[in-house]
A and B are shown apart, each in its own frame.
Chain A
Amino acid sequence: MNQAIQQILTQKLLALADDELILAHRNSEWIGHAPILEEDIALANIAQDELGHANLWFELHQTLTGDDPDELAFFREAAQFRNVQFVELPRGDWAFTMLRQYLFDAYELLLLDQLQYGRYQPLAQACAKVRNEEIYHLRHTSSWIKRLGLGTEESNRRTQAALDELWPYAQQLFVPLPGESILVDEKIVPNLGRLHESWLERVRPFLTAAHLTIPSNQTPPTNNRSNHTHHLTTLLADMQKVARLNREAVW
């Protein structure tokens, strides 16, 4: 692998890992607070799976850079994170959390479908392994969105409000990194523009069938994964607190 490819691949892996890490943490905030015990467990399961996926991407990143995953997760500042703003927004109400997870699952499953046939073997193999989990996530979050959208006046209103807020942010998932086209040319990662079309073809009719209206604003607030909202700083203060109490602690 030449240096240019390796450099952009490490950036891509870090972006993938950060998306999953931050989303997993947001979902984990529901532990002990979900509307019903069974859902508390279900969402904790999903959060833990996403954390496992983050760990996979961090480990692949480590094989290329030597960077320790714990060091990256717990000792970077907000400006050094490469996640999209979509995943760092506060968890909101149950409709907001379920809708965000649904939109992300639909994206991730399509992404994994493609990545598993990519030419970078370690990445392709890791994808094939986690794809099964993602099928289940999408089944679970789809079930919820259907029920929330078609449920009561209140559940529909809350889900619609979540969609209005999240829709522009979700589009940032499909903004390629500067230079990502090298990886597409090498058939290591899929073309995000085409992935975006597949995603829209999947989520639009589904949301409409759940009596939700697709917002017209489709412009992400930023195209740059270095830009973050202030919410990421608060999230990291919580997530990194214990690790930073004692750098040498053994877990």
Chain B
Amino acid sequence: MSDTQWPRYEVFKQDNPQKPHEAVGSVHAPDAELALQNGRDVFVRRPSAVSLWVVKASNIFTMTREELEATPDFWPKVSKAAGTPTTFHLFTKTSQRRSMTFVRHAGQIEAVTPELALRDAIENGRFDADNVWVWWVVADEFIHRSQADDIDSLFAPAVDKTYRQQSHYGFVSPRRQKHGREKLDADERR
């Protein structure tokens, strides 16, 4: 039987205009527009956001530090590519903590292929390559973005929702019994 699963899209969320887009997870969708809508429903129905990007997973060139080290002949192969440069976006993961770490948008670079964009990113010093564990490279044309005038309908309703935080559910934890609800809510707002 053939695979009837829809393709996977990675979802990038921007919490506020000062922060970079972060990869928060993935959704399945038949196309980019529905991926954007599914990403909204799965990841930002309650959390704050100002922008959402989706990229089909197969359009992301990924490389980990381990993979690079295990492939010594990678760079000589890469250097043979030629053509017209286009814009690539670089996303990096710079922490190995187990939770709340994301592949973050780090900037953009002009290159002929994603491999050359990566090499440039590692060699040119702009991206603090020594502290990067995971690289994602995406051509600009593959990013499907929410628009500025989508903010009201995609993200604004979240502000008025109840149960935005786990603490709003009616469980009485030992921590809450000890500290009281007000302090916990204040901690989360911070």
Name A residues whose Cβ lies closer than 8 Å to a Cβ of B: 36-39, 41-42, 45, 49, 129, 132-133, 135-136, 139-140, 143, 147
A42 to B157, CA, bound (A): 14
| A42-B33 contact in complex given A36-B28, A132-B152, A135-B152, C-beta closer than 8 Å | no
Tally the A-B contacts, defined by beta carbons under 8 Å: 40
What are 27 sample pairs from A and B whose C-beta atoms fall under 8 A apart? Answer: A36-B6, A36-B28, A38-B27, A38-B41, A38-B42, A39-B38, A41-B42, A42-B38, A42-B41, A45-B45, A49-B157, A129-B160, A132-B152, A132-B153, A132-B156, A133-B153, A135-B153, A136-B40, A136-B153, A136-B157, A139-B37, A139-B153, A140-B37, A143-B33, A143-B34, A147-B30, A147-B34
- B154, A38: Cβ atoms under 8 Å? no
The answer to whether residues A41 and B41 also contact, given A143-B33, A147-B30 and a CB cut-off of 8 A, is yes
Q: Which 8 A-B pairs have the closest CB atoms?
A: A135-B153, A38-B38, A42-B41, A136-B153, A133-B157, A132-B153, A132-B152, A38-B27
State whether A42 touches B28 (Cβ < 8 A): no
Q: How far, in whole Å, are A132 and B155 apart by their CA atoms in the complex? A: 9
Cα A129 to Cα B28 with chains together (Å): 30
The listed residue with most A CB atoms (<10 A of its CB), out of B30, B38, B41, B154, is B41
List 8 extra interface pairs beyond A132-B153, A133-B153, CB under 8 A. A41-B38, A42-B41, A45-B41, A132-B157, A133-B157, A139-B37, A140-B37, A143-B34
**Inside 8 A of B156's CB, which chain A residues have their CB?**
132
Chain A positions within 8 Å of B41 at CB level: 38, 41-42, 45
User: Measured between alpha carbons, how far is A49 from B152 in the docked complex, in Å?
Assistant: 15
**Set of chain B residues within 8 Å of A136, measured between Cβ atoms:** 40, 153-154, 157
Q: How far is the CB of B157 from chain A (nearest CB, A)?
A: 5
Q: Decide if A38 touches B28 in the complex (CB within 8 Å).
A: yes
Closest to B37 in A: A140
Known A38-B28, A45-B45: A143·B37 in contact at CB below 8 Å: yes
Instruction: Tell yes or no: B57 within 8 A of A by CB.
Output: no
Q: What mask results when residues 37 to 51 of chain B are scored 1 for a CB within 8 Å of chain A, else 0?
A: 110111001000000
Q: In the bound complex, do residue A37 and residue B153 qualify as a contact, i.e. CB atoms below 8 Å apart?
A: no
